[in-house]
Chains A and B, each alone.
Chain A
Amino acid sequence: MTTTTASTPGSYYRFKPWNVGRLLVWSLFALLLIVAPLLFTSSLALTMLSQIGYLIIICLSYNMLLGQGGMLSFGHAVYTGLGSFIAIHAMNLAGKGALPIPLVFIPLVGGLAGMLFAVLLGYVTTKKAGTTFAMITLGIGELVASMALMFPEFFGGEGGITTDRVYGGSFFGITFGPAIQVYYLIAVYCFICTAAMFAFTGTPLGRILNAVRDNPERVEFIGYNTQRVRYFAFIIAGFFAGIGGGLAAINFEIITAVDSVSILRSGGYLLFTFLGGATFFFGPIIGAVLLVFASVLLSELTKAWLLYLGLVFLFMVMYAPGGVASLIMMNLRVAKYGKLRALLPSYLGLAGTGLVAMLGAACMVEMTYHLQLNAALGPEMSFLGATLNAKALASWFGSGFVLLTGLGLFELCRREYVRQWGRIQEEIEHEIKRGEAL
């Protein structure tokens, strides 16, 4: 019994180009950006929103390589990080009066830096494709990360480089001291960059980039130098990555090498862009949101968050390689044909049993983590409000039992779901063929 029904291409909801719907979506996006801090007023929310803002730019720039170009890069943080560093040095120079650049243009400085490094390093990087490309990006990522300790003047050594974003005169009365003003700066850049990158997908270079992803050899035989195409895309992605980095520098007013150019950070961009969905334009936007939620909220909730992340990622690659975005789109298509209601009971069943299974698993994981990391605090720990003794056999049996029952029931629900999904897809295909014959 194959379970590929969920991933056959074409089973997505198709956007019709240039209709009112698109205008609506973009307006909603702008509205959301403007209104968000008014809805979520805590300072934590504002921090998160600001981070989401520039991470959207970064993840979208990453997806230009991954989703649009089929280039898996393990070293994207190089371009965001170097953009951050140049931006922060520019801010310091501007603050001293040596470089008269107002704060609003600093992200562009970061962007130009990212672009410059992409021009330099990208030439070598894009000489190869596929797996080799991935390894080259890894090597160059490590190269830059290791160089950080060698040039403390530029990278600031262990402590990093700090800056003060309030310098020079105010810009129409805005000093960018308060966080809310920085948020709106980020929001403006976010909207413009998102629009720009979306526009890119509709240009010749953008489309040929897709062709290169699909079939690089064929592209050569329609007159294009695939290496060139990749190189140009790499440079453009580097530009936007640098803008994101520049905004990060403004936001935090400190940049450290160990954080900003590390392989860990690159891995993070990869993970979450993929989770959000590399096959759709808006997937990375979801990915950026997930990234901030995971690193800010989830990490507070449990020490095991990296483990959960790894597991989620693994399952996503195996069962939903198009990410969250693809899941949404598949269900939108089902909804368009009016069949979503039939699936609702299945979904509820899956959610319920899945939750039970996860509770059991999470309980065991948390207990293990507790024993490992908080051993000094004794075996008692709290899990979702209940106190558990991590050393008691009863706790382990209990959570194991919950896990197993959850898994068993989940499997039952899953089979039913797959059957239903397959049937619905067939019905939809049938209707499409009928429509085509008319």
Chain B
Amino acid sequence: MAQDATTYSLELRDLRKSFGKTEIIRGANLAVKAGERVAIIGPNGAGKSTLFNLISGRFAPTSGEVLLHGQRIDGKKPFEINRMGLSRSFQITNIFPNLSVFENLRCGVLWSMGYKYTFLRFLSGLHDANERAQQLMEMIKLEKKRDTLAVNLTYAEQRALEIGITIAGGASCILLDEPTAGMSRSETARFIHLIKEVTEGRTLLTVEHDMGVVFGLADKIAVVVYGEVIAFDTPENVRANQRVQEAYLGSAIADAQAEGH
């Protein structure tokens, strides 16, 4: 690896995390270039969500480093990391239930537009924030539900809103944790299309179980098993990787192959 660290958007260096005596992440290494779309796959319990939590600052790592655009973010608080350009969505839909769709999105843009903790200006007068929220709403195709309370949306709509909030702040590195969980086939296909559109040009990491999604969306796949990244390569190479086929459900990859991806 003779490349300069600063060309990587996100880097994990020998990341480790133990909860009590159990080591969940045992030395994970990853280097993602700017604009790359990476799918993180692996058996259940391999530590994928934990990785996300470590990167986004929900937990601090026991040891090792996480670098965002060459700067260390391990041990920082979530809001600090977010301000540095990383945003994430959650496996269980995490939106603001008592605010309307529009309000949800507007909240997402406020900090990045510099409005901070001000209480001396009215939201209705913040034209740039309102326009951006409107744009986002159209991007995720929820303009018709502008004033609906988020808690009254359908599941798929809520997931779309979640994505909307995640990209609202203009983060350059987006983490999506199982974005299509619980969706039907057709919903998933539409959703993937949406994700591709809205994350155009940004670095994307998603945790996914649906191999069809993975092969359709990702430039690179990172395979996580027992808290380590055992492979990080293009989908074709990963498919052919012996170690991966052993460790992971080989049948899942074979099925996807049979489907002609």
Chain A residues within CB distance 8 Å of chain B: 9-10, 14, 17-18, 199-200, 202-208, 210-211, 213-215, 217-226, 228-229, 232, 236, 436
Contact = CB atoms under 8 A, between A and B. Distances in A.
A206 B119 CA distance: 7
Nearest 8 A-B pairs (CB), nearest first?
Answer: A223-B111, A220-B78, A205-B119, A214-B96, A203-B119, A204-B115, A223-B82, A220-B79
Interface residues of B, number: 43
Interface stretch (B59-67, B98-106, B182-190, B222-230): B98-106
11 contacts: A9-B152, A202-B123, A207-B123, A210-B98, A214-B98, A221-B87, A222-B108, A222-B165, A223-B83, A223-B169, A436-B144
Contacts of A236: 119
Given A203-B123, A208-B110, A236-B119, A10 B149 contact: yes
B132 to A, nearest CB: 13
B121 interface: yes
Given A222-B107, A222-B168, A214 B117 contact: no
A217 B107 contact: no
B107 A211 contact: yes
Contacts of B94: 215, 217-218
Interface of B: 56, 77-79, 82-83, 87-88, 90, 94-99, 103, 106-108, 110-112, 115-124, 126, 144, 147-149, 151-152, 165-166, 168-169
Nearest to B57: A220
Contact of A202 (B98, B99, B124): B124
Contacts of A210: 96, 98-99
Contact of A218 (B95, B106, B126, B151): B95
B118 A205 contact: yes
Given A10-B152, A218-B95, A221-B56, 4 more contacts: A221-B79, A223-B79, A223-B110, A223-B112
Contacts of B149: 9-10
A224 B165 CA distance: 13
B96 A215 contact: yes
Contacts of A14: 147
Nearest to B113: A204
Contact of A203 (B77, B120, B151): B120
B118 A204 contact: yes
A404 to B, nearest CB: 40
Nearest to B126: A204
Contact of B119 (A204, A221, A225): A204
Contacts of B120: 203
Contact of B103 (A205, A207, A217): A207
A221 B88 contact: yes
Nearest to B124: A202
Contact of B99 (A214, A217, A436): A214
A199 B124 CA distance: 11
A211 B96 contact: yes
Contacts of A218: 90, 94-96, 165
A384 to B, nearest CB: 43
A199 B148 CA distance: 22
